[in-house]
Chains A and B, each alone.
Chain A
């Protein structure tokens, strides 16, 4: 046991912890814990009332057990009891337990909130602080609902103690983060701003954090904070290091507060008032000057906190992006850090310079450090630092240095860590394309990429090189020659074979004049690698072969022999077999003219944003990537991600759709049973909407892999189900039934090849969760077949949209305010967060999309009524996208909790 045991030692707790530490094995530990849990349980259950001390001790033990990683499912009530103890330590342990083990059990929340309410109004500052800490730690919606309105008053009241103000400010900050809608702006905001002038620096620090958070979302509300923040900052940076007493940290005056103030100023553009602006510029200059002064202490804490302020000042300078001298000075300062012996500083300098590179004022200044950065790439021992160096090289790249940077990145790629290879490949590919003056250099670069890191070259990269070669006729001959040479290597990467195969198929004729690369030699070269490749590559090569037949009639018989061989004709892979058969037939029956038309050279691809860039953006997230597009002020908003031009065009050109059934085997299609109301694409494909669209036919494939039955659904107010017999044999005893849905009985016999129609009339009796299931039964041959198909009927199909005014909407919204009526879900976006698509999805869901209701125009608000046989359920919904975080928050309020729940699940699935 440790010598120090301050305050009240709970001996029993210390003994228990010692016991746990002495356990030799995991099993022993579990055994000891179970013994303790049993003991505590019996104490809590016992008849004898426990005194406060024992209760505290046991609750603390439970907490310890929980923190060891074990589940705790009792003791909450005892902890809540401790909250109302008038002994400080008991209360404190109670609050700690609640903070760590929050439970959304609503009964308890009510009790907890009651206890908090008592402490908040106790006027005892230590009790008030404890309760505020608890609210800040738990930060749940229930607590926000109960206290968000009250805390601002505590914060700005004249007689509140400083320490309570500090807790209240950060408590409010936390509630604003978790439930911003519940923290109302109001008259108190201007008084909070004035806390920036407070005597007590601790209060100022906490208040600045709060204001910086609130100002991000409501900049106008807190505009007056700018001048106060500048004034405060100015006083701090000009103060002597001893002025601020205990707020000076290793000779740096109030570093935390300085960072916070600089952060707050980054919520705003440069101040318009010349005097304030001048004062701020002075502050920033002072901070930059101080960086040049000799350190006042050798301690790392001194330099860290000083530089923390410096980096935040540089962030502000970059954010304003308006003072060229400051930007260049910032850049020079960071340049010094690039060679600092502290790894941390080098890392941060590289990171910060990335953003500087995007300013037109400092782009050139950043470029002067290129040699240092390249050196960092070669010598840094920490991969995360090297990663930053790659990012910076990418950010500083322009036409003048592209060749050097790309060459260095390729060099580095040879030994780069596996974790960052794919990203480097993408970056090299983008830079090579963007800054290519000479496209032969581009082709060389990409082939080098494939040679060095073939495994990390994604499809987008090699699609792109083909797109570019096809679109630029000045490089086609060179490309053909280069891939031909590259393919000579005994072992070359499959991606090279794909590029090579495609390019030779299109442009092999351009080098066929040279006897060293005659048609036959080209073909033999490709075919020598054919058998080592995966199926998609072989499929691509087969297309190359048919193109060769068109380009080089003299080798047609050789190629036909290959196509005719058993390994192609009878290949186990359907796609390969089909291509071989079709290409062979095409080459035999088509005249030269037809062949030339079918296999004409690819037309140029439409110009579009590089799909690689889209991929890199996706990989890094929108905010993370210093966007070279934006630097050069080239706005290209249309992201055309994930295009697959090569595959698509190959198919369109040379191969009929693979589903066409050449051999009459039947059943080569691979569709599965129709999924109920699932949405395939990014848009809500509402198969049961009013526009009478038909579902794609779902095929039911029992066991042996052959299709027997096709079920088609069509909705025309009622639902039509079609049963198609895909076999030649009769189905006997045919029946189908849906639970609770009225159906006309179906004809008991379905002839081979025939179709049967059945009509379902569907009415919603009450709200429901599970989609109804259609049970189909029939006798096929001798065996009884049982098939269950979920019908795509979901609760939202019974919506009627309701238009209403903003006033009506909010009135109803407030009426539906009990916790059960509201269901909220916060979730990550699964698809792109396009506004139009989102609107279409909400309308497709069945509600009316209400314009100009939500004060925030980026939010979506909808209303509708669910009609069921017994009742009508009014529903209001609100969807708040956060594009930066790629998250949504969906709130549903209806008069019925199960409906809220179900609709929330259904709708949140769509985004």
Chain B
């Protein structure tokens, strides 16, 4: 996989993960182009499209689009399920159905979960249990919150 983008129906980018080196300028250009292309597609259309020399796999969950770019020899359907498994992981972590707001306010968590699941663009751990175990262990390492209750915000 070359990159994964999450964006809203309004075209706001919510998460971006790049597995190939691109400059910031290129990233912005790619994002703009793809968000436009994907948002323009109708609901019943197929989830795959050719874009430059890559294959774009996308799926919409509520107000969020999940969009992956894979190479020619990569498998389209299994990529769709990568997206789904990631959504399941987010659901499970945030409790019930994950919503856009969860990802906005906890963007760092969304990145951490993704890193446990995908690394270098490949599935690292496909077991839901194992991924969540890793994340929860990390959460257990958090310092207790009360330490900071009296710390001023700014």
Contacts and interface: CB of A to CB of B under 8 A. Distances in A.
Interface of A: 1-2, 4-9, 11-12, 14-15, 17, 21, 39, 53-54, 60, 63-64, 67, 69, 87-89, 92-93, 96, 100, 126, 129, 132-133, 136-137, 139-140, 163, 166-167, 170-171, 173-174, 177-178, 201-202, 205-206, 209, 245-247, 249, 254-257, 259-260, 263, 266, 301, 304-305, 307-309, 311-312, 315, 343-344, 346-348, 381-382, 384-385, 387, 621, 623-624
Contact of A163 (B49, B80, B121, B125): B125
A202 B119 CA distance: 13
A129 B130 CA distance: 14
Contacts, number: 200
Interface string B18-29: 011100000010
Closest 7 interchain pairs by CB?
A174-B120, A308-B77, A308-B78, A170-B119, A88-B141, A246-B127, A343-B46
21 contacts: A1-B105, A2-B99, A7-B142, A126-B141, A132-B119, A133-B115, A163-B134, A166-B125, A202-B125, A205-B124, A206-B122, A206-B124, A206-B125, A209-B123, A246-B127, A246-B128, A256-B82, A259-B75, A343-B44, A348-B48, A384-B45
Given A17-B105, A308-B78, A382 B45 contact: yes
A2 B101 contact: yes
B88 to A, nearest CB: 9
Contacts of B13: 67, 69
A714 B94 CA distance: 75
Contacts of B122: 170, 173, 206, 209
A167 B44 CA distance: 38
Interface string B76-96: 111011101100000001110
Contacts of A309: 78
A92 B112 contact: yes
Given A167-B119, A246-B129, A344 B76 contact: yes
Contacts of B125: 163, 166, 202, 205-206
Given A205-B123, A311-B76, 13 more contacts: A8-B143, A8-B145, A8-B148, A126-B141, A129-B134, A202-B130, A206-B122, A246-B130, A249-B126, A255-B78, A304-B81, A344-B80, A624-B53
Contact of A384 (B50, B80, B102, B112): B50
B10 interface: no
A22 to B, nearest CB: 13
Contacts of B72: 623-624
A304 B153 CA distance: 47
Given A1-B105, A7-B142, A137-B115, A247 B126 contact: yes
B118 to A, nearest CB: 9
Nearest to B134: A163
Contacts of A100: 111
A206 B124 CA distance: 5
Interface string B44-78: 11111110010000000000000000001101111
B36 interface: no
Interface residues of B, number: 66
B30 interface: no
A259 B105 contact: no
A737 to B, nearest CB: 41
B18 to A, nearest CB: 9
Given A9-B145, A304-B81, A308-B81, A14 B50 contact: no
A301 B128 CA distance: 15
Contacts of B75: 259, 263, 308, 311-312
A387 B48 CA distance: 12
B46 A384 contact: yes
A1 B101 CA distance: 8
Nearest to B95: A4
Nearest to A1: B105
Contacts of B120: 136, 139, 170-171, 173-174, 177
B71 to A, nearest CB: 10
A2 B19 contact: no
A132 B116 CA distance: 11
Contacts of B108: 60, 63, 92-93, 96
Nearest to A91: B141
Contact of B107 (A5, A64, A126, A312): A64
B8 to A, nearest CB: 12
Nearest to A826: B21
Contacts of A6: 93-94, 106, 109, 139
A387 B51 CA distance: 13
Contacts of B80: 304, 344
Contacts of A246: 127-130
A96 B77 contact: no
- Most A CB contacts (10 A, CB to CB) among B76, B105, B125, B145 go to B125
A348 B104 contact: no
Nearest to B77: A308
A12 B154 contact: yes
A305 B124 contact: no
Nearest to B12: A68
B19 A174 contact: yes
Given A139-B21, A202-B127, A385-B46, A92 B119 contact: no
Contacts of B107: 64, 67
Nearest to B74: A263
Contacts of A304: 77-78, 80-81, 84
A272 B47 CA distance: 39
Contacts of B85: 249
Contacts of A202: 124-127, 130
